[in-house]
Structure formats: C-alpha cells, structure tokens
Amino acid sequence: MSYDLLIQGGRVLDPEREMDGIADVAVAGGMVVEVAVCLGASEAAQVYDAGGCLVLPGLIDMHTHVNWGSDPISLVADDYLAGSGTTTWVDAGSAGAANFAGFRRFLIEPSRTRIQPFLNVSTPGLAAVECVHNDVKHLDADAAFDTVEKNRDLIKGIKVLSCAMRVGPNGLIPLRVALEVGEATNLPVMCHIGAPPPGLGEMLPLLRLGDIITHTYKGRKGCLVVAGGRVRREAWEARERGVRFDVGHGAGSFSWEVARQALDQGFPPDTLSTDLHAASVAGGNFHMPALMSRFLHLGLDLSEVVRLSTANPARLLGLEGEIGTLAPGTCADIAVLRLEQGEFPARDCEGVTEVMRQRLVPVLTVRAGQVVA
C-alpha cells in the first residue's frame, strides 16, 4: 500500500488504544491507515524520522478564544497551529447569537485548524467582554436556542461566565439562563469561575451531567479548595454527578498551590486547556505542550497527561472515533513532541515560580494528513 506520509520510529502513545511503544504511523488521504512496526518507507511519498520523539494524536485544547477581529482578546487560530501540536481548538464562547454567523463563515469555515465552538449565552459574546453578563438584556435564551438549531453540526455547548467581575449584580441569573439553553438544546454548559459572588459552592449544585467547570485550579477567592486546603464538598458531589473539570490556565486562572492540593487529594482535571487569548500569549502560556509539562511536574504520568489532552476532550466533544486517537480510519491529526530533561522555570498566575525537571516541546504538527510544522 502506498502512503502520503510515514512517521517513522517514534514512541507512539495513544491512551485511547492503550498503546505505548515504538512504531510507525502511516497516513493516506488525510486518514491514519496503519500503525505498526517497520512499515515500508519505500511506499511513502514523504517520510519523517521521529526517532527519540513521542508520536501522539493531535492535541485538543478545550478552552481558547479565536473569534479574531470581533473581540479584544481573540487570536487567529491558524497563526498558532504550526509549532503547537494542537489540531483542534475549542472556542469557549467568544461569539454569541448576534455574531456567530460571521464567526462561522469568515473564521471557522476557512480555518486550517479545526475549531469547535461553544456559544456564549450573551448575544454579543465577548465583543462586550467588559459587560458580558451584567446586563440582562443580553441574556436571550431564545436567540441562543435558535442559533444552536441553525448550527447543530458545529456548536458543541453553551458558555457562561459566572463571577463578580462579569455578572455584576446579576448573581446566578446568567448561569441559570445558560442551563436553560443547555437543557433545551441537550448541550453541555461550560462555566467560567472567578472571584465571587456568585460562589463556586452556589454554582456547583446547579450543574448537570456533562456540564464543565473551567479554571478549576484558579487561585485567590472562590477556588476549588477551601480554608485548610480541602477540596470543597460540592466539587466532590458534582464530580459524582458527572460534572467535568477543565484546567483553563489562561493569564489568571492557575495556581501551583491549588492544583497540588487538589491532586494530592485525588481530584485531577478531566481535560487540560490553555485558555489561549491575547493576554495569556503575552504571559508565555501559549500552547498545550507547555501546559502538559506543568502536569507532568505535578506528578501525573505521561500517559494520563496525554489522555487529558486527546481522548478525554474528544469524548466530551462527541468526536471520539474521529479524533483523539491514532486508530486506523481516524483523521490524521498528529503531534510529534520531544520530552526534554533539564531545569525549566514555570510561573503560575499567582506569581509563584517552580522549576520543572522536564518539559514537552512540539516538533511536528500534522493536520488532516498535511504537515504544518
């Protein structure tokens, strides 16, 4: 059989298939067609030597902002596709009902990067980021429902910001409207948390199976852990109900201390995500391998870190069997990374620096069978 691309001799790590070993990955027609030892290089139009590197499914970032030109924080996804290993970007509510059509036509559809959007429950989305949910006139459940119905093939969930800075005097109202839309459309709600009110203890009991908390390991007020470093009771109860917990690092939502306390008590994330936007790029937290490195430093094993960046988000998006794995017949989205040893200072959003002893560095990105980096 002839191949368009053969990635040869790397350590193939695919937690979805419980695969971890040296193998070749063959690609044809934009699909993975074979994963095996010693495939014939003479059969391939292009060969890449991945010796000494990790070969993973394309990474999936569960929280980004890429509605460029419509709000003050979004980026152009394709500008960061090369050199990141991240082939699927979930836009976390940059667009609302009033501007989603433009987001789809002018940014999502032409993008080389796969963009999977959550719809903001606020009609202008983050175009009105400074008053995103503090004016109830923007919280239009009917408009959100209609937008989802027109874009069923694309929209993966509903996004709401639920913290004092974004809701003003409206408390739990934005979250309740988002949950109403989620219930009506049978989609999950992704809830941004921050300094209260409303508090996480109030919000968590409202969330349903499949709903998502993002910024799980934020510091300061209103975080996952309460006084004494204990993971709050409502979080354990929510997880038992099937609520998911996403990292959403960003420029202000990750604390080494909170993450370590939670992990020490057996409360890991369900998915990793960067919360990529203009401010987080400026702070140096701009790709998934850097974030994955932080969780290696915190003690998660490599296979689990890869699972949280591939198979788990694919399942949350309903795209298992299409992405998040290197199984033959799936889209040939592939990340080749190198695991480096050394001393690598990494600062959290609270100003605390820890020195990591290893880090993941992107080497090659393949999107739908095409080498982009």
In tens digits, the chain (373 residues) has pLDDT values of 799 999 999 999 999 999 999 999 999 999 999 999 989 888 899 999 999 999 999 999 999 999 999 999 999 999 999 989 999 999 999 999 999 999 999 999 999 999 999 999 999 999 876 667 888 999 999 999 999 999 999 999 999 999 888 898 999 999 999 999 999 999 999 999 998 999 999 999 999 999 999 999 999 777 899 988 999 999 999 999 999 999 999 999 999 999 999 999 999 999 999 999 998 887 665 799 999 999 999 999 999 999 999 999 999 999 999 999 999 999 999 999 999 999 999 999 999 999 999 999 999 999 999 999 6
For 54, list phi and psi in degrees, rounded to 5.
-95, 135
DSSP secondary structure string for all residues of 18-66: TEEEEEEEEEETTEEEEEESS--GGGBSSEEE-TTSEEEEPEEEEEE--
Q: Distance (Å, rounded) from C-alpha 58 to C-alpha 45?
A: 21
At residue 240's C-alpha, the angle toward residues 237 and 246, to 5°, is 90
Do the domains 59-316 and 5-56+328-346+355-371 match in fold? Answer: no
Looking at residue 221, what is its pLDDT? 77
**Contacts of 259 by beta carbon, 8 Å cutoff, 6+ apart:** 217, 294, 298
CA distances from 282 to 75, 100, 145 (A): 12, 26, 35
Looking at residue 52, what is its pLDDT? 98
Dihedral sign computed on CA atoms, order 219, 297, 74, 121: negative
**Contacts of 150 by beta carbon, 8 Å cutoff, 6+ apart:** none
Q: Distance (Å, rounded) from C-alpha 104 to C-alpha 155?
A: 10
Looking at residue 128, what is its pLDDT? 72
Rounded to a whole number of angstroms, the CA Rg of the chain reads: 20
Question: Which residues face 229 on adjacent strands?
Answer: none
CA end-to-end distance (rounded Å), the chain: 26
C-beta of residue 86 within 8 angstroms of C-beta of residue 96:
no
**Tokens of residue 267, six digits:** 């409360």
Looking at residue 180, what is its pLDDT? 98
Looking at residue 130, what is its pLDDT? 65
E strand residue ranges, 110-188: 114-120, 157-162
pTM of the model: 0.97
CA diameter of the chain: 66
User: CATH second-level architecture of 59-316?
Assistant: Alpha-Beta Barrel (3.20)
Dihedral sign computed on CA atoms, order 197, 62, 300, 348: negative
C-beta of residue 134 within 8 angstroms of C-beta of residue 170:
yes
C-beta of residue 119 within 8 angstroms of C-beta of residue 182:
no
Nearest CA-CA partner of 187 in 162, 208, 172, 214:
208
**Contacts of 101 by beta carbon, 8 Å cutoff, 6+ apart:** none
Domain 5-56+328-346+355-371 class?
mainly beta
Q: Distance (Å, rounded) from C-alpha 231 to C-alpha 205?
A: 15
C-beta of residue 194 within 8 angstroms of C-beta of residue 182:
no
DSSP secondary structure string for all residues of 215-283: STT--STT-SEETTTEEPHHHHHHHHHT-EEB---TTT---HHHHHHHHHTT---SB----BSHHHHHT
Domain boundaries defined on the chain: 5-56+328-346+355-371, 59-316
